[in-house]
């Protein structure tokens, strides 16, 4: 018996339901895609360093730079032109400018406030100009707040400084401030200070569920962090999901406009659960370690870089994030969104 090519004449099975019909072409797959990553929902974190003459690539964040005031202006203009949603600015003072209470963070002539003013002057309202509202880059001990005689961060004294910092950022032109120190009551204090100083329209994006993660390593080099020890007494334990939801709900009650989960990719369960409960927008921060792992593997030819970037952003969006902070924001908008 000749069995050659008998499979070609075999009648098709009677399957009324064939999910593969909707995967036949790229156009079909695009038509039925359940999740779309939009550039307008992305925020680019950007670093500005005091005394910088131009952009300098960050070794642990290939393709990312410490900027001067001039180069961050150009970066912001590119972001606005590309149509991404916002830029989140981090200031890096000179080592000799740092002190125990992070006073350069509140100085109108400090590097972060000067960067906010420069970027706002450059882009106006075409881009949401956000500022990191935390002291870790500005303290000589590297913690996110002032410490007591035992080296423990004093929650309430730190919150008072955050409120001052947020007002100085609003005065510099920030559309949005972003407290990232995980201090109890920080959102309420910042909201009250902004309102009392006439900045009722300035938004607060709260780092609500920020975990004491191993994936922050490259960021700490980027901002010249001088931390000794860890931040486990104020950032969350990676083992806790419910605690993250509780923190976010507290921030919502205190007046946050957006709540955030950080990191993103390894905490998608938290993102998903928070998205199901939150009445306000949920952001997720795809942190430096998540970015650098993909870049390092791609450089070695172990993964398809562009596919990995797309897939990671899609996964975060699919989990329920309305906004993603990602170092790929500008590149995605310029080359990958189509």
Q: In Å, what is the CA distance from 25 to each residue of 31, 38, 42, 226, 309?
A: 10, 22, 28, 52, 22
Question: SS3 for 49?
Answer: strand
Residue 210 is a catalytic residue: yes
Question: SS3 for 104?
Answer: helix
Alpha helices in the chain (DSSP H): 6-9, 26-31, 69-82, 111-123, 155-172, 186-196, 217-222, 242-254, 268-277, 288-299, 305-319, 329-331
pTM confidence score: 0.93
d(CA 183, CA 159): 7
Mean pLDDT for 222-247 is 84
* pLDDT band at 332; cut points 50, 70, 90: very high
Least confident of 45-59, 238-252, 266-280: 45-59
Q: What is the mean pLDDT of the chain?
A: 92
CATH code of 36-336, in short, is 3.20.20.70
Residue 147 DSSP one-character state: B
* 174-206 pLDDT, tens digit each: 999 999 999 999 999 999 999 999 999 999 999
Nearest Cα residue to 157 out of 175, 183, 131: 183
Burial of 223 (0-12, 13-18, 19+ CB in 10 A): buried
d(CA 34, CA 69): 40
The catalytic position among 98, 210, 228, 232 is 210
- pLDDT over 90 percentage in the chain: 78
> Domain segments of the chain: what residues?
36-336
d(CA 91, CA 137): 7
CB atoms within 10 A of CB 186: 27
Phi and psi angles of residue 309, each rounded to the nearest 5 degrees, phi first? -60, -50
- pLDDT over 70 percentage in the chain: 95
Q: In Å, what is the CA distance from 307 to each residue of 58, 66, 279, 298, 337?
A: 23, 27, 32, 10, 12
d(CA 337, CA 330): 10
Residue 40 is a catalytic residue: no
**Helix axis angle, 186-196 to 155-172, nearest 10°:** 40
* 98-108 pLDDT, tens digit each: 898 899 999 99
The answer to whether residues 66 and 52 touch, using CB atoms and an 8 Å cutoff, is yes
Check pLDDT > 70 for residue 168.
yes
Handedness of CA 43, 47, 175, 133 (dihedral sign): positive
Q: Residues near 283 by Cβ (< 8 Å), separated by ≥ 6?
A: 43, 205, 258, 259, 260, 261, 321, 322, 323, 324, 325
Check pLDDT > 60 for residue 331.
yes
């Amino acid at each position: 018996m000749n069995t050659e090519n008998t499979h070609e004449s075999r009648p098709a099975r009677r399957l009324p339901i064939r999910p593969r019909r909707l995967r036949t072409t790229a156009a079909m797959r695009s038509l039925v895609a359940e999740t779309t990553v939009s550039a307008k929902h992305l925020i680019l974190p950007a670093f500005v360093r005091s005394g910088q003459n131009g952009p300098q690539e960050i070794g642990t964040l290939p393709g990312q730079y410490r900027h001067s005031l001039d180069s961050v202006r150009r970066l912001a203009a590119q972001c606005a032109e590309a149509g991404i949603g916002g830029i989140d600015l981090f200031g890096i003072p000179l080592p000799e400018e740092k002190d125990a209470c992070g006073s350069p963070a509140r100085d109108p002539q400090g590097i972060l406030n000067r960067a906010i003013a420069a970027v706002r002057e450059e882009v106006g309202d075409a881009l949401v100009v956000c500022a990191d509202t935390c002291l870790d880059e500005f303290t000589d001990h590297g913690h996110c707040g002032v410490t007591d005689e035992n080296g423990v961060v004093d929650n309430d004294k730190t919150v008072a400084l955050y409120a001052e910092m947020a007002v100085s950022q609003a005065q510099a032109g920030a559309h949005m401030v972003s407290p990232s120190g995980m201090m109890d009551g920080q959102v309420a204090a910042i909201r009250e200070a902004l309102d009392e100083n006439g900045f009722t329209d300035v938004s607060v994006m709260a780092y609500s569920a920020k975990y004491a993660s191993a994936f922050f390593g490259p960021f700490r080099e980027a901002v010249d962090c001088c931390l000794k020890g860890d931040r486990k007494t104020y950032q969350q334990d990676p083992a806790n999901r419910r605690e993250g939801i509780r923190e976010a709900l507290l921030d919502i009650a205190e007046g946050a406009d957006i709540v955030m989960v950080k990191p993103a990719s390894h905490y998608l369960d938290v993102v998903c659960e928070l998205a199901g409960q939150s009445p306000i927008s949920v952001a997720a921060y795809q942190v430096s370690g998540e970015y650098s792992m993909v870049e390092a593997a791609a450089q070695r030819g172990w993964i398809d870089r562009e596919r990995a970037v797309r897939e990671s952003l899609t996964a975060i969006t699919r989990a329920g994030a309305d906004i993603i902070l990602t170092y790929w924001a500008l590149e995605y908008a310029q080359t990958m969104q189509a």
